[in-house]
């Protein structure tokens, strides 16, 4: 029985959830009379302790681990939230009506089978010359929320179709335009087959396997060797690298999570971030047609960035000495399973850290930059997203998303030019779209009491104090409340945001800070009255700041699937709470607007999006002065 689970594996409040803990929580639920054989486990994750609880805990003390579960009892659009206390065996049970979990795998499969057996769909395929229906790839898509009657009270998906001439064929080269299926995925029932007319299926092969292309033969090997091993150490999910310390875990929805990130300075670990993770992302499409206008995938809340994580045991994407972390998730029937090698960690040389060549003394000092890389990769349908956190020797943190994989495609009739899509191959186009990610940063800069300042650098008007009209200076604005902190980037003023601890000063008497340095990023382009703008309100601004609240977890709310909108950041921040000298959370939206190129076909070279967190008076001076010079003869000329 589940009571008194105190697995010796678990030695810290922020340790990753174990298979034994998942099994214990599931056993508690299954023994409760509310639940039946039909109950499915849509989500199981750690109910994470608060900052105060973590800080109050010390090694040797008991752990009161709690598990969050989201259950579906039947085919209705309702869920049951459960928090299971493993130490006491108590369950807190809260039904939530009219919301859906992310799309379940079992139901996605049921939707595919229902379509395959549907006579009207079979007829639509034959009308397009497809005789062998086994060659049709069926992709269930989140249906969105458009006031369609099929949506009401149901968990539905819309299915799109592609031809695979062989099992390994790239189906996105052969989209079947004009057919969409609405399916009640919870009941395995086709609701409607929409057929807007036949468009010839593009025929050109889009395969990218080595056997499908002629490979260049003049690349010489690059070998990374670390003869003395890596410079990091790992204990459970705790990582030490150089002066950094952090914990890593995986959540089935959010994917890779960092906890309790700190940097050792003058003998003590100074906290910077309590928690960091992508809590939501959206891929809105810009083509208004019936096949593509409804496509707005929320790849975290509707599919799950952890659930879709690659096992890097299949082949590694990193070079060097690597440490892997496994991820433990639960199946929809409550069975724990392990994704081996879900997180990859390694070190990378990163060019020059700092350098000066003094011509007078003829001393040339240079230091090599190195970074610790913690990454995972999620494949969500056609797309692949790499999530990469980098830690540098000088206290900088970087987050980078690597966008790759295969475009979502459409067939175009011969001779036609699409207005809202790029041609990428003969009769094959890819609609314009965006990828907008929101990363939640639970700030902890030298402690929990932080404020956010916006800094814009402006020219100073000419005048007696500015006789050469050259003056410019940063203008700092304290963001006092939530509505004042709904912000967008401004490259023209080099805008950044400082996370300041007003109660901790550096040796110059200035409050310590980390600055959030945005990259080049859009916000949502869909009109404010669109369905996606309502549902992905988080994407209408780059920055949001909230006071920490334990139930404010995901940028679009806990239930974005088929949600009518308004939840998450727009709703919470409407309260306009104070964010000055508080335990605050920054929510940063960034991404790319993707006007596809022919070069993105048939598989996309990586596109990058991200941001930096850079110490800004957090240290008293360059914290990487103590990095030793590289050993001699590291350069080699043939
Ligand atoms: Ni894209």
Contact call for residues 435 and 522 (beta carbons, < 8 A)? no
Q: Does the structure show a pLDDT above 80 at 4? A: no
Residue 187: inside a domain: yes
Domain of residue 560, CATH code = 2.70.98.20
Looking up residue 151, the CATH number of its domain turns out to be 3.10.450.40
Q: pTM (2 decimals)?
A: 0.97
Rounded to the nearest integer, the mean pLDDT of the chain is 96
Model pLDDT, residue 10: 82
| Ligand 1 centroid to residue 478 C-alpha, Å | 35
Q: Are 220 and 346 in contact (CB under 8 A)?
A: no
**Is 379 in the same domain as 489?**
yes
Based on the domain organization, do 87 and 138 belong to the same domain?
no
Distance 529 CA to ligand 1 centre (A): 23
Residue 367 domain-assigned (yes or no): yes
Contacts of 398 (CB under 8 A, 6+ apart): 371, 388, 389, 390, 392, 610, 611, 612, 613
CA distance readout (Å), 447 to 273, 283, 503, 512, 581: 9, 35, 9, 11, 11
**Same-domain status, 157 and 271:** no
450 lies in a domain? no
User: 90 lies in a domain?
Assistant: yes
On whether both 178 and 267 belong to a single domain, the answer is: no
Cα angle: 584, vertex 67, 100; to 5 degrees: 80
Is 60 exceeded by the pLDDT of residue 421?
yes
Q: What is the pLDDT of residues 330-344, one digit of tens each?
A: 999 999 999 999 999
Burial class, 436, CB count within 10 angstroms (exposed 0-12 / middle 13-18 / buried 19+): buried
**Percent of the chain whose predicted confidence (pLDDT) is above 90:** 94
User: SS3 of 456, please?
Assistant: strand
Question: What is the Cα–Cα distance from 264 to 256, expressed in whole angstroms?
Answer: 23
Question: Which secondary-structure segment (H or E) carries 20?
Answer: helix 19-30
Give domain status of residue 556, yes or no.
Answer: yes
3 state DSSP class of 400: strand
Q: How many Å lie between the centroid of ligand 1 and the Cα of residue 594?
A: 5
CA of 608 to the centre of ligand 1 (A): 11
Q: 92 and 112: one domain?
A: no
435 CA from centroid of ligand 1 (Å): 6
The catalytic residue positions are 299, 383
266 and 157 in a common domain: no
Same domain (yes/no): 390, 276? yes
Could you tell me the two tokens for 263? Answer: 């940097």
What are 520-532's pLDDT values in tens digits? 999 999 999 999 9
CA of 438 to the centre of ligand 1 (A): 16
Domain co-membership, 301 together with 197: no
Which pLDDT value is given to residue 456? Answer: 98
Q: Which domain holds residue 54?
A: 19-97
Residue 354 contacts residue 396 (beta carbons within 8 Å)? no
> pLDDT tens for residues 481-519?
999 999 999 999 999 999 999 999 999 999 999 999 999
pLDDT of residue 313: 78
Give tens-digit pLDDT for 375-418. 999 999 999 999 999 999 999 999 999 999 999 999 999 999 99
Residues 312 and 421 in one domain: yes
Where a domain ends, among 97, 126, 161?
97
Supply 480's token pair.
Answer: 């006092």
- 139: CA distance to ligand 1 center in Å? 17
| Contact (CB, 8 A) for 575 and 487 | no
Q: Are residues 562 and 427 in the same domain?
A: yes
- 252 vs 103, 301, 342, 383, CA distance in Å? 12, 10, 11, 18
Share of the chain above pLDDT 70, in %: 98
> If 0-12 CB within 10 Å is exposed, 13-18 middle and 19+ buried, where does residue 401 land?
buried
Look at the block and give the residue holding tokens 């943190």: 397
Sign (positive or negative) of CA dihedral 351, 355, 359, 361: negative
Distance from the CA of 476 to the center of ligand 1, in angstroms?
35
Are 600 and 580 in the same domain?
yes
User: Which stretches of 2-113 are assigned E, i.e. beta strand?
Assistant: 40-46, 66-72, 78-85, 91-97
Assign 1 a pLDDT band (cuts: 50, 70, 90).
very low
* Domain count for the chain: 3
447, 273 in Cβ contact below 8 A?
A: no
pLDDT score for 318: 81
Contacts of 269 (CB under 8 A, 6+ apart): 245, 262, 263
Contact 309, 378 (CB under 8 A): yes
Q: 283 C-alpha vs ligand 1 centroid, how far in Å?
A: 8
Task: Tell me the mean pLDDT in the region 187-216.
Answer: 97
As a whole number of angstroms, the distance between CA 81 and CA 98 comes to 13
Give tens-digit pLDDT for 8-45: 568 899 999 999 999 999 999 999 998 899 999 999 99
| Claim to verify: residue 182 and residue 279 sit in the same structural domain | no
């Amino acid at each position: 029985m589940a009571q008194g689970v105190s697995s010796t594996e678990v030695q810290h409040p922020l340790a990753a959830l174990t298979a034994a803990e998942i099994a214990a929580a599931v056993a508690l639920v299954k023994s409760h009379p509310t639940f039946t054989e039909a109950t499915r486990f849509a989500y199981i994750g750690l109910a994470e302790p608060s900052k105060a609880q973590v800080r109050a805990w010390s090694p040797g003390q008991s752990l009161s681990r709690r598990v969050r579960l989201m259950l579906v009892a039947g085919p209705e659009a309702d869920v049951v939230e459960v928090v299971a206390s493993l130490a006491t065996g108590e369950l807190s049970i809260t039904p939530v009506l009219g919301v859906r979990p992310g799309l379940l795998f079992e139901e996605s499969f049921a939707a595919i089978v229902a379509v395959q057996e549907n006579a009207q769909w079979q007829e639509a395929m034959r009308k397009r010359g497809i005789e062998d229906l086994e060659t049709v790839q069926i992709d269930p898509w989140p249906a969105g929320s458009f006031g369609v009657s099929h949506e009401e009270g149901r968990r539905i998906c819309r299915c799109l179709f592609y031809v695979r001439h062989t099992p390994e064929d790239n189906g996105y080269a052969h989209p079947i335009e004009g057919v969409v299926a609405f399916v009640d995925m919870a009941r395995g029932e086709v609701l409607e087959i929409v057929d807007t007319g036949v468009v010839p299926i593009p025929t050109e092969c889009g395969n990218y396997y080595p056997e499908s292309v002629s490979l260049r033969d003049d690349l010489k090997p690059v070998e990374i060797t670390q003869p003395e091993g890596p410079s990091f150490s790992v204990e459970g999910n705790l990582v030490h690298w150089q002066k950094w310390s952090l914990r890593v875990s995986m959540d089935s929805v959010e994917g890779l999570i960092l906890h309790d990130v700190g940097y050792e300075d003058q003998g003590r670990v100074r906290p910077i971030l309590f928690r960091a993770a992508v809590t939501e992302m959206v891929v809105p499409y810009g083509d208004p047609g019936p096949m593509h206008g409804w496509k707005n995938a929320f790849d975290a809340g509707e599919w799950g960035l952890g659930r879709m994580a690659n096992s890097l045991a299949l082949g590694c994407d990193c070079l060097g000495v690597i440490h892997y972390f496994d991820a433990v998730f639960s199946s929809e029937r409550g069975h724990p399973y392990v994704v081996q090698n879900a997180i990859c960690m390694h070190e990378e040389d990163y060019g020059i850290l700092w350098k000066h060549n003094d011509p007078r003394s003829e001393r040339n000092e240079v230091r090599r930059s190195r970074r610790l890389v913690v990454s995972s990769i999620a494949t969500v349908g056609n797309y692949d997203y790499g999530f990469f956190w980098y830690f540098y020797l000088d206290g900088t943190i970087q987050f980078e998303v690597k966008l790759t994989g295969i475009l979502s495609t459409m067939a175009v009739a011969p001779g036609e030019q699409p207005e809202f899509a790029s041609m990428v191959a003969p009769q094959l186009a890819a609609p314009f779209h965006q990828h907008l990610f929101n990363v939640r940063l639970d700030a902890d800069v030298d402690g929990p009491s932080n404020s956010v300042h916006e800094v814009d650098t402006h020219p100073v008007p000419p005048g007696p104090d500015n006789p050469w009209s050259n003056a410019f200076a940063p203008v700092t604005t304290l963001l006092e409340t939530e509505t004042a902190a709904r912000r967008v980037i401004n490259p023209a003023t080099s805008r950044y945001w400082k996370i300041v601890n007003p109660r901790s000063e550096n040796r110059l008497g200035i409050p310590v800070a980390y600055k959030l340095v945005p990259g080049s990023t859009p916000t949502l382009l869909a009109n404010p009255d669109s369905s996606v703008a309502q549902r992905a309100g988080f994407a209408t601004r780059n920055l949001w700041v909230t006071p920490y609240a334990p139930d404010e977890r995901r940028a679009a709310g806990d239930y974005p699937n088929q949600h009518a909108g308004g939840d998450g950041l727009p709703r919470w921040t409407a309260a306009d709470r104070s964010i000055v000298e508080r335990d605050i959370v920054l929510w940063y939206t960034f991404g790319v607007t993707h006007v596809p190129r022919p070069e993105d076909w048939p598989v996309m070279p990586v596109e990058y999006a991200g941001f930096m967190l850079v110490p800004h008076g957090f240290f008293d001076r360059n914290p990487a002065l103590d990095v030793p010079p590289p050993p001699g003869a590291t350069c080699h000329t043939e």
